[in-house]
Structure 1
Amino acid sequence: MTFSPPPKTAAWRHLDAQTGFEVVYFRPLGDWHRIEGCTTGLEEGRTWIVEYAIDVDADWLTRRAEVTGRSAAGSRRTTLEGDGDGHWRMDGVPAPHLDGCFDVDLESSAMTNAFPVHRMRLAVGAASEAPAAYVRSLNLSVERLEQHYARVDRESYDYVSPADGFSCRLVYDQAGFVLDYPGIAVRAL
């Protein structure tokens, strides 16, 4: 599976789960990529802003994620570092609860669903588990999120998050970025 190069920028509008917007910029770092973005949300009467800078290597393994969040409760910041073998450090401290994860998934972001799709490069009909280091929007807590991706056709994947019983069909563009995340976000640019 070959993807076209990332666009210079992309944007998503949040849907039913929350009201808000996400804007992302992609920068090459040699054969790596830096993804810088900001997402805002209004959810159950609470507002938040999450800013991030995520570095992925040539195989789209997340190597570093710097995440800053702001809400009425104040500001928070966390840094995740992956070694490429499924081991993580969170704010410089080993995070064994994330062992076996290769991707960062931000609760506030539709863009981060590109990481496992790029990394796994599944053939049509293939499926795989894709556990991720999951960063919550309001408090930036980090937990392990079990996920399952099954490639349906050229642009569609069936997605399942067993812990919360969520499933949907994700639609991607030729660059491997979400166009439609039912109930969560839709690509605006």
Structure 2
Amino acid sequence: MTEKQSAAHRDDTVPGPRDADVPEWALRADEDDDRPLPDLPPLPADPRWRVEHLPLLTAFSVALLMSAASVGFLTAGAPAALGAAAGVAIVIVSYTMSTLVLAWADTVRPALLMPLGITTYVVKYSLLGVILAFVISSEWPGRTALGWGVVAGVMGWTAAQIWWVARLRHRT
């Protein structure tokens, strides 16, 4: 046997590292190129239900923002009013962003919900941490009111969303 025949014989009889490391489906890729992609479930006829609650929550949040600013102004002046309003605004932007990203992902491809949801969560809470760390380390007089504004925004938005979901349950 020549060296070339010996190498060919070895490749045919003993699986080499290429054959052992490559999944079987990849070795057959050329044979399966004409297979159709798997069927995806149909999208709902009207995808607006995913964001149907946003007008109510936005109206509630604007009212909460104005109330927080008023309470902040009456208790500690303009810096507290700005801080309380900023705290509520941070929550409004954060929750609205999550809702829109998840609604878009669910409309485009439901498999994107988990990765985009987690990414959105990590990004928004990282930004919140940076903002709060910066504000806490400063000597700004509205920093306490900003914290209370965040708390009020979270509690208010959550309560309004619970009310919305409870209302939907009775509607069906």
Of structures 1 and 2, the larger Rg is shown by 2
Tell me whether the two structures share a fold, i.e. TM-score over 0.5: no
* Structure with a larger share of its residues in helix: 2
Query: The TM-score by the shorter chain falls in which range?
Result: under 0.3
Structure with larger RCO (C-alpha < 8 A, sep 6+): 2
Tell me the TM-score normalised to structure 2 length. 0.24
Tell me the TM-score normalised to structure 1 length. 0.23
* Structure with a larger share of its residues in strand: 1
